[in-house]
Structure 1
Amino acid sequence: MSTSINSIASEAACALHKLDVARPELFQTGRVFRCFERLRREAPVHHCADGLFGSYWSITKHSDIEAIELDPDTFSSEHANGGITITSRPDDPQFLPSFIAMDPPRHAAQRKAVAPAFSPERLQYLAQRLRDWSAEIVGELPVGEPFDWVDKVSIELTARTLASLLGFPRERSRDLIRWSNAMVSLPGSAAFPTINDKLKVMQECFSAFDAIWEERLKNPQGDDLLSMLASGPETRAMSRAELHGNLVLLIVGGNDTSRNAISGSVVAFDRFPEEREKLKAHPELLTALTPEVLRWQTPVAHMRRTAMRDVTLRGQQIRKGDKVILWYISANRDEDVFERGDDFRIERPNARRHLSFGAGVHRCIGARAADLQLKILWEEILRRIPRIEVVQAPVTTSSTFGHGYTELMVRIRERLAA
Structure 2
Amino acid sequence: MNVQAPVNVDKAERLRLAREEAYSTPLKDFHPGAPRLFQSDTLWPWFERLRKEEPVHYCTNAPIEPYWSVVRYHDIMHVDTNHGIFSSDARLGGISIKDAPPGYDWPSFIAMDQPKHAEQRKTVSPMFTPGHLDELAGLIRQRSAKVLDSLPRNETFNWVEKVSIELTTQMLATLFDFPFEERRKLTRWSDVSTALPKSGIVESPEQRRKEMDECRAYFAKLWNERVNSEPRNDLLSMMAHSEATRHMDPDNLMGNIILLIVGGNDTTRNTMSASVLALNENPGEYEKLRANPELIDSMVPEVIRWQTPLAHMRRTALEDTELGGKKIKKGDRVVMWYVSGNRDEEVIERAGEFIIDRPRPRTHLSFGFGIHRCVGMRLAELQLRIVWEEILKRFERIEVVGEPKRVYSSFVRGIESLPVRIPG
1:75 to 76, 81, 86: 86
Measured in 2, the distance between the counterparts of 1:349 and 1:3 equals 31
User: Counterpart in 2 of 1:28?
Assistant: 39
Measured in 2, the distance between the counterparts of 1:272 and 1:159 equals 28
1:207 to 194, 217, 233: 217
2:249 to 223, 239, 256: 239
CA contact (8 A) 1:148 1:410 kept: yes
1:197 to 185, 190, 207: 207
User: Counterpart in 1 of 2:417?
Assistant: 407
Matching of residue 57 in structure 1 with residue 77 in structure 2: no
* TM-score between the two structures when normalised by the length of structure 2: 0.95
Secondary structure in 1 matching 2:117? helix
One-letter amino acid of the counterpart of residue 201, structure 1: E
Could you list the structure 1 runs, at least 4 aligned residues long, displaced by more than 6 angstroms after superposition: 1-4
Deviates more, 1:54-63 or 1:118-127: 118-127
User: Counterpart in 1 of 2:20?
Assistant: 9
2:29 to 15, 18, 27: 18
| Structure 1 residue 368 displacement after superposition | 0.7
1:125 to 112, 135, 138: 135
Secondary structure in 1 matching 2:102? coil
CA contact (8 A) 2:14 2:42 kept: no
CA contact (8 A) 2:56 2:323 kept: yes
User: Counterpart in 1 of 2:269?
Assistant: 259
User: Counterpart in 1 of 2:353?
Assistant: 343
Measured in 2, the distance between the counterparts of 1:311 and 1:120 equals 39
Matching of residue 318 in structure 1 with residue 328 in structure 2: yes
| Structure 1 residue 5 displacement after superposition | 4.6
CA contact (8 A) 1:220 1:230 kept: no
Instruction: After TM superposition, list the pairs within 5 Å mapping 1:137-152 onto structure 2.
Output: 137-152=147-162
| Structure 1 residue 304 displacement after superposition | 0.3
| Structure 1 residue 28 displacement after superposition | 1.1
User: Counterpart in 1 of 2:54?
Assistant: 43
Matching of residue 179 in structure 1 with residue 175 in structure 2: no
Q: Deviations over 1:43-91 (max 9, x none)?
A: 00000013132200000000011111110010000111110001124x7
Unaligned runs of 5+ in 1: none
User: Counterpart in 2 of 1:88?
Assistant: 99
Unaligned runs of 5+ in 2: 1-9
Secondary structure in 2 matching 1:352? coil
Q: For this pair of structures, how many residues does the alignment match?
A: 413
Q: Structure 1 residues 220 and 100 mapped into 2: Cα distance closer, same or farther (>3 Å)?
A: farther
CA contact (8 A) 2:317 2:330 kept: yes
Q: Structure 1 residues 108 and 3 mapped into 2: Cα distance closer, same or farther (>3 Å)?
A: closer
1:282 to 279, 285, 292: 292
Measured in 2, the distance between the counterparts of 1:198 and 1:110 equals 27
Deviates more, 1:68-77 or 1:191-200: 191-200
Secondary structure in 2 matching 1:51? coil
Secondary structure in 2 matching 1:168? coil
Secondary structure in 1 matching 2:183? helix
Measured in 1, the distance between the counterparts of 2:21 and 2:219 equals 48
Measured in 1, the distance between the counterparts of 2:200 and 2:294 equals 44
Deviates more, 1:133-142 or 1:341-350: 341-350
Measured in 1, the distance between the counterparts of 2:63 and 2:153 equals 44
Identical aligned residues as a percent: 47
CA contact (8 A) 2:202 2:208 kept: yes
* TM-score between the two structures when normalised by the length of structure 1: 0.96
User: Counterpart in 1 of 2:340?
Assistant: 330
| Structure 1 residue 6 displacement after superposition | 4.5
One-letter amino acid of the counterpart of residue 23, structure 2: A
User: Counterpart in 2 of 1:352?
Assistant: 362
One-letter amino acid of the counterpart of residue 338, structure 2: Y
